[in-house]
Amino acid sequence: MQSLQNHLLIAMPSLKDAYFSRSVTYICEHSETGAMGIVINQPIEMKIHDLLAQVSDDLKDKNIHPDTPVYAGGPVNSERGFILHTPQEIWKSSLQLSDDFMVTTSKDILESIGTKLEPENYLICLGYAGWQEGQLEQELLENSWITIPAEKELVFNTPIRDRWQKATEKLGFSPWQLSDDVGHA
């Protein structure tokens, strides 16, 4: 089995699950025991300023853009935060995923948002997507997902509403060309 860590899962149009419809998910971990990922294109009503106000006593000296979204990272542990960001070695609970990506779950990174210590690029997500042993592989066989290697530009700099389409275009075709029957003989 080839690991899909540091890849993006792109939901096929045939995927009828309301939560994952037109989703793009960054895969943080993938092994024979299962997979864990963070959805990167489903903002929630909450903005970053609202979230930070819940965890920090003082926001007045921070430069926080009020429209920066918080994302629904997945349906599992939706009260738990995951920050997908460009690598920095200063956080208490971080896992380096590649040269371009790191995930941090400790509160200390939230305190840096709006200061000179914040990561160059970051997405704040609540919850994650999880797959049990063999589940993701089965969903791939059923053509629920297609995959591409993760790219920093697509994850952090592509507008949210365009991420799914831009991700599919990386495969060399447009979303409207996708069929439920891809890969079946």
Res 184: pLDDT: 43
Backbone angles phi, psi at 70, to 5 degrees: -105, 145
> Does the pLDDT at position 49 exceed 50?
yes
> Does the pLDDT at position 173 exceed 80?
no
The Cβ of residue 180 has, within 10 Å, a number of other Cβ atoms equal to: 12
> What is the assigned CATH class of domain 7-177?
alpha beta
If pLDDT is split at 50, 70 and 90, which confidence band does 65 have? Answer: confident
pTM over 0.85: yes
If pLDDT is split at 50, 70 and 90, which confidence band does 109 have? Answer: confident
What is the Cα–Cα distance from 29 to 133, expressed in whole angstroms?
12
**Domain range annotation of the chain:** 7-177
| Cβ-Cβ contacts under 8 Å for 155 (sequence gap 6 or more) | 8, 26, 40, 84, 101, 121, 123, 163
What is the Cα–Cα distance from 39 to 109, expressed in whole angstroms?
19
Res 133: pLDDT: 96
> Does the pLDDT at position 180 exceed 70?
no
> Does the pLDDT at position 29 exceed 80?
yes
Beta-strand pair 69-72/122-132: parallel
Among residues 30, 41, 49, the alpha carbon closest in space to that of 114 is found at 49
Helix (H) or strand (E) holding 109: helix 108-112
Task: Kindly state the average pLDDT of the residues 136-156.
Answer: 94
Helix, strand or coil, per DSSP, at residue 157? helix
Among residues 45, 49, 150, the alpha carbon closest in space to that of 98 is found at 150
Res 175: pLDDT: 60
